[in-house]
Amino acid sequence: MGRTLTLTEKQFMNANGDIGNNDVGFQVAIQTLTQLSQKIVEQKFYEISISDFMNVDVGSGAWQEEYMQAREYYTGGGFEEGDIDDHAGSGKLSEVDAAIDTMSVPNRFWAKKVSWRKPQLEQAARNMIPWDQPAAKLRSLKKNWDLGIQELAFIGHSTIPRITGLLNNREVNSNTSILPVPISSMTQAQMNNFVKLVLNAYFVNSNSTQMPNRFVVPTSDYLGLGQPFPGSVAQITMLEYLLNMLKKQTRNEDFDIIPLKYAEKEFQLKRGNNVLGRYTLYFSAPKNIETPTLRLPIDFQLITGRLSDDNLSVPTTAFGQYSSVLISRPREVLYLDVLSA
């Protein structure tokens, strides 16, 4: 004889379209020979550590509507303009000066809530599957914040142009000639040309002041770099060849090549960038706000409300404040865009 199993969740937050609405509900039919697992499989998402790519500044500028960063500049002509003739009379000396400009980004407040009613809690307590619905809703709330901040950190806000991510800052220059095709699709000649040009392009872009230590590539291309480097006698992979070259040429053993899903075409198109992939060379240093930094004036917080007047429901609100990824030195970042396959 069949029996009805009561569940208490209405909706699954689905990232990949692999859970259909027809598969979930309040009631699931079981029979006497059905064994119920006492473990629940949680949904998985694409999650990465933002701090592997940039600094994260938490807590500064809380409750403010805008963040402003000052930048200092020096003026005064060339060094030799200061030459003087010690045998001549005193004359007018060349003068140097200093100035500042500012850059500002808006701060945005964010809030969402969950609630549960007493009947739901009572039903959950009697479920044959041990599912803590309030805890699951809180996990869903935190995941909503985490995934949103993660996407924001790399491709910015979908409707606020001033809130940009690491990969779509309007002050950063874009090069469309160095990468004719994805790196894993390069011939030996194309790879040799890329290696010859890429660091010089970055160094010129930085006004000869900085070398990069990070190279972000689309994940699909990164996964293809495990193939042998074309023409290599030692049979090293394309990834090994490229990383070894970048470490030696920059004289920096900390140099890293990092895969990133948000560099793929599908995410670039979401922000109006019609490319096959965006590669990013940049310099990053821990706890150095002069390098790319995600600003979170107020990190995720939970505020639990009081029991409703009918004594049946309890709301919990999540609150936070976020801002743009601040790139104070845009010349120390260079985008390399692939326009064709």
Q: Are 170 and 164 in contact (CB under 8 A)?
A: yes
Residues 6 or more apart whose Cβ sits within 8 Å of residue 70: 100, 101, 102
Token output for 10: 């209405």
- What whole-number distance in Å separates Cα of residue 304 and Cα of residue 309? 15
Token output for 284: 């990053």
Token output for 332: 């120390």
For 336, other C-beta atoms within 10 Å of its C-beta total 24
What was the pLDDT predicted at 11? 38
What was the pLDDT predicted at 186? 94
Work out the burial of residue 234: count CB atoms within 10 Å of its CB; fewer than 13 is exposed, 13-18 middle, 19 or more buried: exposed
Q: Domains (ranges, CATH) in the chain?
A: 173-283+331-338 (3.30.2320)
- What whole-number distance in Å separates Cα of residue 41 and Cα of residue 295? 33
Amino acid identity of 116? W
- What whole-number distance in Å separates Cα of residue 56 and Cα of residue 50? 8
Reported as a single tens digit per residue, the pLDDT across 2-53 is 443 333 333 334 444 455 444 554 456 666 666 666 677 778 889 999 999 9
What is the b/e burial string over 244-262, where b = at least 16 CB atoms within 10 angstroms of the residue's CB? Answer: ebbbeebeeeebbbebbeb
Helix axes 238-250, 188-205, angle to 10 degrees: 30
Token output for 33: 């020979």
- pLDDT-flagged residues of the chain (< 50): 1-17, 20-22, 25-26
Token output for 304: 């639990």
Phi, psi of 250 (to 5 degrees): -90, -5
What was the pLDDT predicted at 330? 96
What was the pLDDT predicted at 315? 83
Work out the burial of residue 284: count CB atoms within 10 Å of its CB; fewer than 13 is exposed, 13-18 middle, 19 or more buried: buried
- What whole-number distance in Å separates Cα of residue 257 and Cα of residue 330? 20
- State CA 29 to chain mean position distance: 43
> Token pair 């019609």 is at which residue?
274
Closest CA to 262 of 144, 145, 153: 153
What was the pLDDT predicted at 341? 64
Amino acid identity of 278? R
- What whole-number distance in Å separates Cα of residue 95 and Cα of residue 82? 8
What was the pLDDT predicted at 89? 62
